[in-house]
Amino acid sequence: MVVEIKKVGVIGAGQMGSGIAHVCAVAGFDVALNDISKDRIQSGLASINGNMARQVSKGQLDEESRTAALDRITPADSMDQLADVDLVIESAVENEQIKRKIFTQLCPLLKPEAILATNTSSISITRLAATTDRPERFIGIHFMNPVPLMELVELVRGIATEDETFEASKVFTRKLGKTIAVAEDFPAFMVNRILLPMINEAIYTLYEGVGSVEAIDTAMKLGANHPMGPLQLADFIGLDTCLSIMQVLYEGLADSKYRPCPLLVKYVEAGWLGRKTQRGFYDYRGETPVPTR
Site residues (CB under 6 A) for ligand NDP?
Answer: 11-17, 35-37, 40, 91-94, 98, 102, 119-121, 143, 145, 237-238, 241, 276
- Per CB under 6 A, does 56 bind ligand CAA? no
Residue 145 phi/psi, 5° resolution?
-100, 130
| Residue 245 Cβ vs ligand CAA, minimum distance, rounded to whole Å | 7
Q: Which is nearer to ligand CAA, 51 or 124 (CB)?
A: 51
Q: Which is nearer to ligand NDP, 3 or 11 (CB)?
A: 11
Name the binder of 190 from ligand CAA, ligand NDP, none, CB < 5-8 A by kind. Answer: none
- Residues annotated as catalytic are 121, 142, 154, 192
Q: Which is nearer to ligand CAA, 216 or 233 (CB)?
A: 233
* CA-based nearest residue to 140, from 110, 107, 170, 111: 170
In the 3-class helix/strand/coil scheme, how is 26-72 assigned residue by residue?
Answer: HCCCEEEEECCCHHHHHHHHHHHHHHHHHHHHCCCCCHHHHHHHHHC
Interacting span for ligand CAA (CB under 6 A) from 84-92, 147-155, 207-215, 251-259:
147-155
Distances (CA, A) of 21 to 13, 33, 152, 156: 8, 7, 16, 20
Q: Which is nearer to ligand CAA, 43 or 145 (CB)?
A: 145
In one-letter notation, the amino acid at residue 77 is D
Instruction: Let me know if 286 is exposed, middle or buried by CB neighbors in 10 A (0-12, 13-18, 19+).
Output: exposed
DSSP 196-260: HHHHHHHHHHHHTTSS-HHHHHHHHHHHS--SS-HHHHHHHH-HHHHHHHHHHHHHHH--GGGPP
| Residue 121 Cβ vs ligand CAA, minimum distance, rounded to whole Å | 3
Interacting span for ligand CAA (CB under 6 A) from 59-67, 69-77, 106-114, 138-146:
138-146
| Residue 163 Cβ vs ligand CAA, minimum distance, rounded to whole Å | 26
- Residues 220 to 279 in contact with ligand CAA, rule: CB under 6 A: 227-228, 233, 237, 241
Degrees to nearest 5, angle at CA 10 with 7 and 15: 135
User: Would you say 94 is a known binding-site residue?
Assistant: yes
User: Would you say 13 is a known binding-site residue?
Assistant: yes
* CA-based nearest residue to 275, from 292, 258, 261: 292
| Residue 67 Cβ vs ligand NDP, minimum distance, rounded to whole Å | 25
Degrees to nearest 5, angle at CA 118 with 174 and 93: 130
Return the half-sphere exposure (C-beta side, CA atoms, 13 A cut-off) of residue 27: 22
Distances (CA, A) of 186 to 103, 173, 290: 21, 21, 37
- Per CB under 6 A, does 218 bind ligand CAA? no
Q: Shortest Cβ contact with ligand NDP: which residue?
A: 14
- Per CB under 6 A, does 130 bind ligand CAA? no
User: Site residues (CB under 6 A) for ligand CAA?
Assistant: 51, 54, 58, 121, 144-146, 148-150, 191-192, 195, 227-228, 233, 237, 241
Which residues are known binding-site members?
A: 12-17, 35, 94, 99, 121, 145, 276
Which residues are known binding-site members for NAD(+)?
A: 12-17, 35, 94, 99, 121, 145, 276
